[in-house]
Structure 1
């Protein structure tokens, strides 16, 4: 697969010089988003070759993350074919969540169903998400707040879970008017923060097994894991009324944002291990996309100062688009994992595309100004 050689060379030069990267015109943002979205739809079944059966579903978390970004693209796309794609995907899933009753990953796809319900107002789009979430609320898990080598996964014992499930609960509170969804979510979210958040570093450990672990002396803060949290915060915040809960999430969001811009590499991406960029020099696009999305959302919604945060967004977007091939494949997406690892220019994943489209949707709004 060919990369846009001349363009990439120019972009890499720009992203290596702080202050020189600039957002492209809106039509250019739309063009590359459409290219990536179309490539992914054409290759929609490619990820179904996974060995793990629990990942080999179109309502798994991997696809759920894709749908979240694809729905944001559908809102701005020049054609309604993307909503048709999402409606067909949801119908093929029978509007159902994954099989794990409590598992956060198996709730992720509910975010798509709820957004489609908001747009089309069809009761069947809401029914199964509501049924599952009410069941969990009325039958709270008795497991401890620890992962223990995946022995306990009914509660949000790994940081990725904070993207997967809490936005479903926040959206349901907004849609139904039942504050109990929001209150239950808040209590469980705070429990996870108390378990995994490093108050000094303003970052999340992926799970308990990383808290005391070091990589050549460095604390291990996985980029995509923190990207899950940071992106998830935006999905929650937009659902909250003013009050103590919103103040709590706002502070967490702003604290993470202020630290994240200090960790961006000179080339514009965020390293797979946020505090150990020298150990992981390979670009990685899924974490970078979530951070770019979250920062751009913050400016667009009045949470972040434009003068402070726009340069990081510009460099992040330039880095991301430099890893899109001529065919529309978003490269350098780290495969499914639970910590820093490897990525390759010709390898992608559906959740990385979802993060890229989410980032583009907010960068597009910024470019208007």
Structure 2
């Protein structure tokens, strides 16, 4: 009898251990986040600087999807303690200081200013002060009024007077771009002003554009829950909550909004376990992988940080990660990534968007997932 009870206890404990660690341990080899991450980084380094995938020719500067992929690769090198990989990723920055200096971004727009995360991350990994000064200038200038036309100056000053960045647009992708650069500035300097102003900005966005179900319209004139647009918000809240001190007056507000969004996302997976091009229409929409990877990333971190109930969300995460695997080809390119999408006036505008293979919008988000899965749960 005692032996039977002991066996039952051991079995129960093993089941508990699997439930706790199952999404990041005991994955099959083809879904091993380290192997997947290495393939994605190799893919990233195999090409020169790229324009948006739908635009031909040399890029005028480093565009934000490449910035986000580069950041994902740097984080992956850190999580795997791969110094050789870090040196290669750092070397990619050198031409921007000299012969390819025209590719260095300027902090003149919210999508361009996020580039500052690359020198700031390099500074934190190498302690080279050159990277610090380049990166912190990007973060500072996001809250410094630029020289511009009189009409723009009035609009920009109005945002600054409210404590917001002059780059404020109330577009859903802003809340990844702003929080990423300001969070990195906080991590590099330990000065609360950077993360505090990003957190305040986030609460203003949430009060302005989050819908009662926790999701976000692409725009007021586009009442559609576009996948990747919502993915940027999910990732932005995740990045902010990861780094925001819990004593912040904004922490609880942002956490509540994050949890509301995750709850609705959990209820709207398709039969694969992923998310559609229009999030609230999982049966009518085609599976869109960049948004799906962003949602998966947000949930991985949420389970690990204790923001989400493990028993409720860990199975969703594991199913999503496994479901993404068939969308990665042998070269490490993620397929079915929605092409860059401006605001549309009809549902068909979104459902008929072209699907790309290997687009950095998807490569970046998948790298974030791989690194998050490699990080031990707190």
TM-score by length of 2: 0.78
1:52 deviates by 8.2
RMSD: 3.0
Cα pair 1:240 1:246 within 8 Å, conserved: yes
1:239 deviates by 1.8
Alignment deviations for residues 263-319 of structure 1 (CA, whole Å, 9 cap, x no partner): 111112100101123332x22110011111110111112221111001111111112
Match of 1:216 in 2: none
Cα pair 2:79 2:375 within 8 Å, conserved: no
Counterpart selection for 1:232 from 216, 232, 236 = 236
Which structure: larger Rg? 2
Classify the secondary structure of the residue corresponding to 1:241. coil
Counterpart selection for 1:275 from 273, 280, 285 = 280
1:70 deviates by 1.2
Q: 1:176 to 1:362 in 2, by over 3 A?
A: closer
Q: 1:274 to 1:50 in 2, by over 3 A?
A: closer
Q: 1:71 to 1:138 in 2, by over 3 A?
A: same
Structure 1 position 209 matched with structure 2 position 221: yes
Match of 1:99 in 2: 106
TM-score by length of 1: 0.79
Structure 1 position 355 matched with structure 2 position 365: yes
Classify the secondary structure of the residue corresponding to 1:279. coil
1:100 deviates by 4.8
Structure 1 position 330 matched with structure 2 position 343: no
Counterpart selection for 2:264 from 238, 259, 283 = 259
Cα pair 1:225 1:338 within 8 Å, conserved: no
Classify the secondary structure of the residue corresponding to 2:332. coil
Q: 1:57 to 1:246 in 2, by over 3 A?
A: farther
- List alignment gaps of at least 5 residues for structure 1: 1-20, 147-152, 214-219
Cα pair 1:143 1:155 within 8 Å, conserved: no
Task: Provide runs of 4+ in structure 1 moved above 6 Å.
Answer: none
1:335 deviates by 1.6
Classify the secondary structure of the residue corresponding to 2:338. coil
- List alignment gaps of at least 5 residues for structure 2: 1-21, 147-152, 160-165, 344-349
1:49 deviates by 6.4
Q: 1:326 to 1:78 in 2, by over 3 A?
A: farther
Q: Larger relative CO (CA 8 A, sep 6+): 1 or 2?
A: 1
